[in-house]
A and B are shown apart, each in its own frame.
Chain A
Amino acid sequence: MSQYRLEIRVKPRPGLLDPQGKAIHHSLNSLGWDGVGDVRVGKVMYIDIEADSETSAGEAAEAMCRKLLANPVTEDFEISMIEALEGAGS
């Protein structure tokens, strides 16, 4: 088993109103960034996990997203990084 660090990004689905993003958009505009278009706010989660291989760490990440980390009605997810942690595991 080895230690892996997962980076998971969860973001609002395209087309859905993201009120947080909208508020930030207004704020950026009022600060003078007139060229700012769409702003959307998501989450990044870092999860350390023990797994046999990078593939199985990725599969676990996918299952976590489907079961808990993202709501399929309103959010999309992406496993943006699977990093083997140095010096950990056996």
Chain B
Amino acid sequence: MKVAVITFPGSNCDYDLYKAAQQVGGDATFVWHRERGLAGYDAVLLPGGFSYGDYLRAGAIARMSPIMEDVTSFANSGGPVLGICNGFQILCEAGLLPGALMRNSSLKFQGKDVFIRVERNDMLFTSDYTEGQVLRIPIAHGEGNYEADTATLEALEAEGRVVFRYVDASGESTEDANPNGSWHNIAGITNAKGNVLGMMPHPERAMESILGSTDGVALFTSMAGSLSLST
């Protein structure tokens, strides 16, 4: 699995993603936002961070980067694209995923471990999880409050495009378990084709037991497995 980790000025989870891809046997390469071309890559990863200092809106400036044209054509041709945290915000701003991530309803930056439930495992990104599995994954964001117009939100649910949802330890999606005010506790969504995934929690920070959780590993082994490379 040859993976491009796109790096923007202000990305800060790029090394974590690079390391996560390597840990599952992937061949990872950093691709600077000013570079062009993604030929030969099997997957594209957009890391978390604060691209362009979150100026204007989180992800709004990064999505105008030259490489984003290539990310868009890569995604449109069915290539797997994963955006985490700021990466998710960039995917929404770029129109590769619907909706937007607004300020947390608490107005506070939330940096802690949360529980999320795997809503479907019939995807390239989640095949190594079981449906309904509850994961403990860290979050670290100030703008993770997922919002879209009513028609879009209804379509996301009707089409099963909510991939991860904030839940409590027992797997119930309660209001208390929602760290940012997201509609229907949405933590991660996919596009209609299922090849673009955006999520606020950080699976790349849950890769080693010494760091608190290994619940993120299966996301990367799923990708590596689906992209026909043994781990």
Contact = CB atoms under 8 A, between A and B. Distances in A.
B102 A20 contact: no
Interface stretch (A30-38, A53-61, A66-74, A79-87): A66-74
Contacts, number: 36
A71 B57 contact: yes
Interface string A12-25: 00001101101100
Nearest to A16: B147
20 contacts: A16-B147, A17-B102, A17-B181, A19-B102, A19-B104, A19-B105, A19-B107, A19-B145, A19-B181, A20-B103, A20-B107, A23-B107, A68-B60, A68-B64, A71-B57, A71-B60, A73-B92, A73-B98, A73-B148, A74-B102
Interface of B: 56-57, 60, 64, 92-93, 98-100, 102-107, 145, 147-149, 181
A22 B98 CA distance: 26
Contacts of B107: 19-20, 22-23
| Interface size grouping (class) on chain A | 10 to 19
Nearest to B106: A19
Contact of B147 (A20, A23, A69, A73): A73
Contact of A73 (B100, B104, B105): B100
Contacts of B56: 68-69
A69 B64 CA distance: 12
Contacts of B100: 71, 73-74
A11 B132 CA distance: 39
A87 B151 CA distance: 50
A17 B64 CA distance: 27
Contacts of A71: 57, 60, 93, 100
Per CB-CB distance, the 9 closest pairs between chain A and chain B, nearest first, are: A73-B100, A19-B107, A74-B100, A19-B103, A19-B105, A71-B100, A23-B107, A71-B57, A74-B102
Nearest to A23: B107
A19 B110 CA distance: 15
A73 B147 CA distance: 8
Contacts of B149: 73
Given A19-B103, A71-B93, 5 more contacts: A16-B147, A19-B104, A68-B64, A69-B56, A73-B92
Nearest to A22: B107
Contacts of A20: 103, 107
Most buried by A among B57, B93, B107, B147: B57
A22 B148 CA distance: 20
